Amino acid sequence: MIPLLIVSVVVFGFVFLGIYLNRKVFFTKTWEYEATYENEVRQGAFNPEQFRRLKKEELTIDSPFGYRLHAIWIPGEGSDKTVIFSHGYTYSLFGSVKYLDIFLNLGYNILLYDHRYHGKSGGKNCTMGFREKDDLRSVTDWVFQKCGSDSFVVTHGESLGGATVLLHGAMDKRISAIIADCPYKSVWAQFQYKLMEIYKLPAFPFLHISDWFSPLFIGTRFSQISPQEAVKNIHCPVLFIHGDQDRYIPYQFSVDLYNQKSGQKRLYVAKGADHAQSCLIDRAAYGAQINQFLSEVESIKTHSIAAQKASS
């Protein structure tokens, strides 16, 4: 009787742990939409008056999962180049406004959008990139319909958004270039890092138990969500960016992603920058890295188009 009771308590404990860890991550409390705007202004991330004066359109884009994604479109002057921004975990599209000047100065259209379960978008939970990558595919479809099927489209993401643009880039060959700022290399690696940092607990058996339950919450095991595997199938150029003082996602993750990627790539490690702060710590250096990277990508594409026309 006592052994049976002990087994029952252990089994119940495992079930509780698996459910608790999944709910804590995938149903986490997110920032209020307006609070993210106020927080960015308070940090000096962008000038609210300059942002207010920008010509922009608020819109929604249908997700393949039955909800709507909230977005803001900021057109350039007759440009066929567009950058799509994917923000970080628990935040909103206002987390990406700090990057706008860099791309507006390069003549890009801008599309900001809220991830599922974030900001003004629908969706019952966060899936750490699993369903977010398909949402980004729908957002990208909207841009190509708006600007033309042969337009130049770049995706830029930070943190969760950084992982999302990599996962999406592996399945959408239309993307011209990707900029991944402080992404995690896999959900497993990120959970393992945070489990030890916060709770001083090893991966086994806690992550293994939680992983077994995760399909009930997100439709797949989180161990299968891996930007590090995705980069093997990304054929467009990728710029990896990470602050060397990142306390949330180790900058070594971007080094590992860079090493895994073949073809054209670049790695920029921002000295002294914490999580998602590389642009704010040195805006000039950040902008220069992006400018040089995109100039090289645009030049290659221009030569490729010219060669195709010559051959035809």
Residues 143-184: tens digit of each pLDDT: 999 999 999 999 999 999 999 999 999 999 999 999 999 999
Give 166's contacts (C-beta < 8 A, 6+ positions apart). Answer: 157, 178, 180, 183, 227, 230, 231, 234, 238, 257
Spatial distance between the Cα atoms of 228 and 255, rounded to a whole number of angstroms = 11
Read off the pLDDT of each residue in 203-229 and give the average, rounded to a whole number: 94
Spatial distance between the Cα atoms of 213 and 218, rounded to a whole number of angstroms = 9
Read off the pLDDT of each residue in 27-31 and give the average, rounded to a whole number: 97
CA atoms in the 13 A half-sphere facing the CB of 174:
20
pLDDT of residue 78: 83
Question: For residues 20 and 169, which has the higher predicted lDDT (pLDDT)?
Answer: 169
pLDDT of residue 306: 45
- Helix 187-199 crosses helix 206-213 at what angle (to 10 degrees)? 130
Question: How many Cβ atoms from other residues are within 10 Å of residue 75's Cβ?
Answer: 17
Q: What are phi and psi of 83, to 5 degrees?
A: -115, 135
pLDDT of residue 206: 87
pTM for the structure as a whole: 0.94
Which secondary structure element, helix H or strand E, spans residue 152, and what is its range? strand 152-158
Lowest mean pLDDT among 39-43, 214-218, 305-309: 305-309
Spatial distance between the Cα atoms of 53 and 249, rounded to a whole number of angstroms = 35
Question: How would you classify residue 200: left for phi > 0, otherwise alpha for psi between -120 and 50, otherwise beta?
Answer: left
Query: Where along the chain do its domains lie?
Result: 31-186+225-311
Amino acid at residue number 145: Q
pLDDT of residue 250: 97
Spatial distance between the Cα atoms of 143 and 82, rounded to a whole number of angstroms = 8
pLDDT of residue 257: 98
Q: Where are the beta strands (DSSP E) in 210-273?
A: 238-243, 265-270
Q: Evaluate the omega torsion of the peptide bond into residue 227 and state whether it is cis, within 30 degrees of 0.
A: no
Q: How confident is the model at residue 274 (pLDDT cuts 50, 70, 90)?
A: very high
The topology under which CATH files domain 31-186+225-311 is: Rossmann fold (3.40.50)
Q: Is residue 235 pLDDT above 80, yes or no?
A: yes
Spatial distance between the Cα atoms of 236 and 23, rounded to a whole number of angstroms = 35
Percent of the chain with pLDDT over 70: 92
Read off the pLDDT of each residue in 54-65 and give the average, rounded to a whole number: 97
Q: How confident is the model at residue 19 (pLDDT cuts 50, 70, 90)?
A: confident
Q: What angle do CA 61, 63, 69 make, to 5 degrees?
A: 45
Read off the pLDDT of each residue in 225-241 and give the average, rounded to a whole number: 98
Q: Is the dihedral of CA 100, 101, 106, 107 positive or negative?
A: positive
Give 287's contacts (C-beta < 8 A, 6+ positions apart). Answer: 101, 102, 105
Q: How confident is the model at residue 311 (pLDDT cuts 50, 70, 90)?
A: low
Read off the pLDDT of each residue in 109-138 and give the average, rounded to a whole number: 98
Spatial distance between the Cα atoms of 206 and 77, rounded to a whole number of angstroms = 53
pLDDT of residue 221: 97
Q: Is residue 303 pLDDT above 50, yes or no?
A: no
Percent of the chain with pLDDT over 90: 84
